[in-house]
Structure 1
Amino acid sequence: MKKVLLSAYACSPIRGSEPGNGWSWATTLAQSGFEVWCITNIEDQQATTDECNRLNLKNLHFVFVNISGRLDEYLLNTDSKTIYLHYYLWRQRASKVAKNLHDIHHFDVAHHVTFGSLQQGTFLWKLNDVKIVFGPVGGGQKALPQFKEYFGSSWKFEILRDVVSRVSLVFSSELGNTLRKADVVLVTNSDTQEMVRKTKLLKEDKLHFIIDNAVPKRMEQNVYVNREDKQKLRLLWVGRMLPRKGLKLVFHALSLVDKSVDYSLTIVGGGEQFHLVEDWIREYGLDMSRFNILGQVAFEQVIKSYQDADAFIFCSLRDSCPAQLNEAMAYGLPIITLDIHGSSLSVPENCGIKVKPLSAGQTANKIAEAIGKFHDNPEFRKSCSENAFQYAKQNTWKNKVSHVTERFY
C-alpha cells in the first residue's frame, strides 16, 4: 500500500468549493487503497474527525496544523482577505510538520491539492526521496478589462493581483523551487498551463491538464428528475459574493431580459458584497419580488435550492474551475455561464449556453437572450438538463482520482 502525504489546507466535509475538493481528494485516495496522511487547517476539525470516524477509514489520518497564539481565531476567515496571511503563516508551520511526518513514514507520494494556486507553489518541494505531485492548480486566469465596472473599487486589486502574479513567476522562490522539484504539475485551465510554460522551469512532459473538481460524493447517487414546465423560469445563483464572481453582471443581464419572460432568481451565499445585493437590484430597476436572497446557509439548504430550480446561472469573471457548476449539473440543471477560464472547460457545449465575452453591454445582452431562450424553449432546456446530468454522472471523484493515480503515482 503506497503512502501519500496530502497537503490540503482547505479540507472539510461540510463545505463546498475548495474545502469540498480537499475532502474529496483525501477520502477518495483512502477509499482507493492508499495510506493517506492529510495536512490541513483547524477550521472544521471536529466535523472532519467525526465524519472520518463515521466512514471508518482506518487508512486516512488527518493532521490538523494550527498557527501560534490566537492567530487562527483572528485570521482564519475565508470571507476575509486575512485568509491569505493565515495561509502564508500556516504553510511555514505545515512544512515543518510535513518534514517530521516524512522522516517517520517515508512517503511514496507527496501531493498538493489545496489551495490550488500556481503562484504560491507548495512547501512539499522541501521533501526529499518522494514523488512530488503539484495540483491541479489554477491562477493563470485574468479578469477581462471590459468587465471592470462590475468590480467597482476592487478593480485595483485585480490590477495588483496581475502585477504580483507576474512578479511571482520571476522572483518567487517557493514557486521556482516547486517547479524545479516537482515530478508532475497538474493545471486546470489553459491560462495556467501557458503561465507555467513561460517560466521555462518545468519540462513539458511533466506538465499535464486536468479539471480540478468533480461531483461531490453525496451527489453521485442523484436520480434524474423531470421538472414540470411552468410559466415561471426559476433561476439559481450559488457562490461567495466576491467581485470576481460576477453577480452584478447577472443583475445587469436581468435588466435586459424581454418583458415577456417570467422568471425568479434565488441567490445563495454570503461574502463581502452581500450587503450590496439589494442596492444592485434597485440600481438596475428590477422588481424585488422576483428575488429570493438566502445568504449563507447550510449545505442541505443549498441542495434544496438546486432541487427547486430550473436553470443555473453563474457568470464568474475570473475563476479557475467553479465547483458549483458541477453541483448544479449533478441535479440536472442546464447552465448559463461565460465562455472563459474554468467555466468554459467545466461545462460541455450541450449542457447549457456559454456566452462569449464581448463588451460589458453586449455580454449582458447575450446573457439576457440565453435566459429568454431557456424560458421560451422548454424542450431545449430539457435537452441541456439531461446532458448535464449524464455528464455529471461520469465526472466522479473516483474516476478523477483513478486517472491521476494510475498515471502519476
Structure 2
Amino acid sequence: MSAYACEPGSGSEPGVGWNWARQAAAQGHQVHLVTRSNNRQAIESASDSHPNNLAIHYLDLPAPFLMAKRRTGYYGLLFYYYAWQMHLGWTARRLHRIHHFDVAHHVTFVIDWMPSGLSLLRVPFVWGPVGGSTHHLPAGFDLKLPPYARRHEKIRSTVQKICRLVDPFLLLTRSKADAILVYSKEGLAGIPARHRGKASAVIHVGVSDEDLPRGIQPQPLTGGPFLRIASGGRLVHWKGFDILIEGFAAFLKAGGKGSLSFSGEGPFRPHLEGLVAQLDVQEHVNFVGYLPTRADVYRHISANDVFALPTLRDGPPVAILEAMLVGRPILCLDVGATSEMVPPHAGVRVPVGTRSETASGIENALTHFADRPEVLRDMGAAARAHVLELHNWANVGELIVRVYESVVDPE
C-alpha cells in the first residue's frame, strides 16, 4: 500500500492515508505501507494505534529534490510527487521480491491525474480513492480572482490536460488497475470511458466519536436571533470564502445579527480581509488563524451554530464531516462532492447561479437559520446521525475486504 500523505490524528489526505492502512490491517491483512519519511515522527508517536501487522517503509528522494520542492511551492510539489511515484515503483518491486505481495493498493494522493508507482508491480492493483480531474470553477461565474489565482487555475488546467492525455505513466496506471475507487459520483466522469467499467464511487473518509478530543462532546444547539457561523480550512481562492463573506454582509444589511469566524491560513487571506473591509463588516468577521491541533478545530466548530463551506470545486472536505460529527448543520453549495455529502435534512445546499444570485442564496440560508432555531437543532442532530452511519472508518474497512476479494478472486 502506498500513501504519500499519511499521518495519524490528522484530517484531510494524511488522515485518509493512515486510516486506510489501519483499516486494511484491522481486517487481518499483512500490510506493508510505503510513505514519506516526514511522516515518521507522527506515525511512531501513535504506536498505541499501530497494529502489529502494519509494517512501515519510509521513502524519500535525495536532498536536491527536497530543496527544489520547498523552493518552488505547489509546482515543486507536483514534480516531487511524480518523481516519488517513479522511485516508488522501483522500491515496491524490491519489496515484492522479499514479501511476495498479493495486492498493490495506491491510497494517497487521492488524485486521478497523476500516476501510481504501484502500477509497475505484477499483482492485482487497486487505484484509489482518487478524483480531482472533474473539479473546475463554474463557467460563466464572476470569480473576481486576483492575478496569482488566475495563473494557478490556468497552470493547473494545463498540467491536468497534459497528464490525462499524453502521460504514458498515467495511461499505464489506469490500464493496470483492476479496481478504481473514485471518491464521489461526480468523479466517475474523470475516468475514461474504456476504464469506467472497473470504477466505482465510494465513501473514502470517516469520522467517529473517538476523533473527538477529551472534554469535547457534541453540544445541543440553543438557537436564537444571533447566528454564529464557523468556516475555515486552507484559505484558497476555490473554497468560496469570498462569496460567503458577501452573503453574510447582505444578511447583516437586511437586519440579521451574527458573527462569522474563519480558521486557517492561506494565500487568499489578504484578499478576504480586504473584502471584509470593503463591505464594512470588520466588527462581525474574525480570522482566528491556523489551529495547530484537531482539538482546536473541534472547539472552533463547537463554539458556533452553523458550519459554512461554499467551495466551488473540491473533493469531499473532511471539515464538513467534523462539523457534522459535533452536530452542526452545514451550509454549502449544491455542486460537486460537497453536495453529495450533505443530505437535505442535514444542511442547506445553495444553488450556484450568478455571483450575486449565489450570494443571495447564502443570505437567504442564513436568514432561515436565524429565524427558525428549531431548524438548526433538527438539522444538527440529523447531520450527526448521518455522518456516524455512513462516514465511519469501519465501513471503509469492510469496503477494503470486498475490493481485495474482488481483485484477487474475480469469480
Question: Shared topology, TM-score over 0.5?
Answer: yes
Q: CA deviation at 1:203?
A: 5.6
Match of 1:328 in 2: 323
Q: Which amino acid aligns with 1:261?
A: G
Is 1:400 aligned with 2:396? yes
Partner SS state of residue 256, structure 1: helix
Aligned 1:108-123 pairs, distance under 5 A: 108-123=102-117
What is the alpha-carbon distance in structure 2 between the residues aligned to residue 241 and residue 100 of structure 1? 41
Quote the Cα distance in structure 2 between the aligned partners of 1:325 and 1:78: 30
Corresponding residue pairs, total: 398
* 1:218 aligned partner, one-letter code: E
Match of 2:372 among 357, 363, 377: 377
CA distance in 2, matches of 1:229, 1:217: 23
Structure 2 equivalent of residue 188 of structure 1 = 183
- Structure 2 distance, partners of 1:262, 1:274, is 24
* Residue 235, structure 1, aligned to residue 229, structure 2: yes
Are 1:390 and 2:382 matched, yes or no? no
Is 2:254 the counterpart of 1:252? no
Instruction: Note closer, same or farther for the CA distance 1:76–1:100 as it changes in structure 2 (3 Å cut).
Output: farther
Q: Name the counterpart of 1:33.
A: 28
Q: CA deviation at 1:83?
A: 2.0
Please list every run of 5 or more consecutive structure 1 residues that lacks an aligned counterpart in the other structure.
Answer: 1-5
Indicate how the Cα distance of structure 1 residues 365 and 77 shifts in structure 2: closer, same or farther if over 3 A, else same: farther
Verify the 8 A CA contact 2:103 2:404 in the aligned structure 1.
no
Tell me what 1:3 maps to. none
SS at match of 2:192: helix
Match among 205, 208, 212 for residue 213 of structure 1: 205
CA contact (8 A) 1:220 1:393 kept: no
After superposition, the C-alpha distances for 1:333-392 in whole angstroms (9 at most, x for unaligned) are 100001111111111121100011111110111011111111111111111101100011
Residue equivalent to 2:342: 347
SS in 1 for 2:152: helix
Structure 1 residue 406: Cα displacement:
1.9
Instruction: Give, in angstroms, the shift of residue 223 of structure 1.
Output: 5.2
1:62 to 56, 60, 65: 56
- Which amino acid in 1 is paired with 2:371? D
SS of residue paired to 1:28:
helix
2:128 paired residue number: 135
Deviation at 1:190, TM superposition (A): 3.5
The separation in 2 between residues aligned to 1:227 and 1:403, in whole angstroms, is 34
Q: Confirm or deny: 8 A CA contact 1:216 1:397 kept in the other structure.
A: yes
Query: Per-residue deviation at 1:177?
Result: 0.6
Does residue 225 of structure 1 match 2:219?
A: yes
Query: How many Å separate the matches in 2 of 1:238 and 1:73?
Result: 30
User: In the alignment, residue 266 of structure 1 is paired with which amino acid?
Assistant: S
1:10 Cα deviation from its structure 2 partner: 0.7
Structure 1, 116-125 or 149-158: larger mean CA deviation? 149-158
Give the root-mean-square deviation of aligned CA atoms.
2.2
Q: CA deviation at 1:271?
A: 1.7
Aligned residue in 2 for 1:338: 333
Find the aligned partners of 1:79 and 1:350 in 2 and give their Cα distance.
40
For residue 220 of structure 1, report the CA deviation from its aligned partner. 7.1
Structure 1 residue 33 displacement after superposition: 1.7
Normalised to the residue count of structure 1, the TM-score between the two structures is 0.91
Partner deviation per Cα, 1:207-242 (whole Å, 9 max, x = no partner): 111133222673379854312234321111121111
C-alpha distance in structure 2 between counterparts of 1:379 and 1:217, whole Å: 24
State how far apart, in whole Å, the 2-side matches of 1:80 and 1:131 are.
32
Q: CA deviation at 1:63?
A: 1.4
Q: Distance in 1 between matches of 2:72 and 2:397?
A: 26
Q: CA deviation at 1:122?
A: 1.2
Per the alignment, residue 293 of structure 1 pairs with 287
1:79-124 Cα distance to aligned partner (Å, 9 max, x none)? 7443222212222222221111111111112111111111102111
2:398 counterpart letter in structure 1 = S
- The 3 A distance-change label for structure 1 pair 29 and 220 is farther
Q: Using the alignment, how far apart are the partners of 1:341 and 1:152 within structure 2?
A: 24
Structure 1: which amino acid aligns with 2:201? Answer: F
For residues 377 and 263 of structure 2, what CA distance do their matches in structure 1 show? Answer: 23
Q: Is the 8 A contact 1:238 1:268 kept in 2?
A: yes
Cα shift at 1:150:
4.2
Q: CA deviation at 1:175?
A: 1.8
- Measure the CA separation in 2 of the matches of 1:177 and 1:131: 14
Contact 2:223–2:376 at 8 Å: present in 1 too?
no
- Say if 1:266 and 1:293, in contact at 8 Å, map to a contact too: yes
Gaps (5+ residues) in structure 2? 406-411
Residue number in structure 2 paired with 1:15: 10
State how far apart, in whole Å, the 1-side matches of 2:266 and 2:57 are.
Answer: 28
Instruction: State percent identity of aligned pairs.
Output: 27
Letter matched to residue 202 of structure 2: I
Q: Is the 8 A contact 2:26 2:397 kept in 1?
A: no
Letter of the aligned partner of 2:380 in structure 1? S
User: Equivalent residue of 1:354, what SS?
Assistant: strand
Tell me whether 1:126 sits opposite 2:106 in the alignment: no
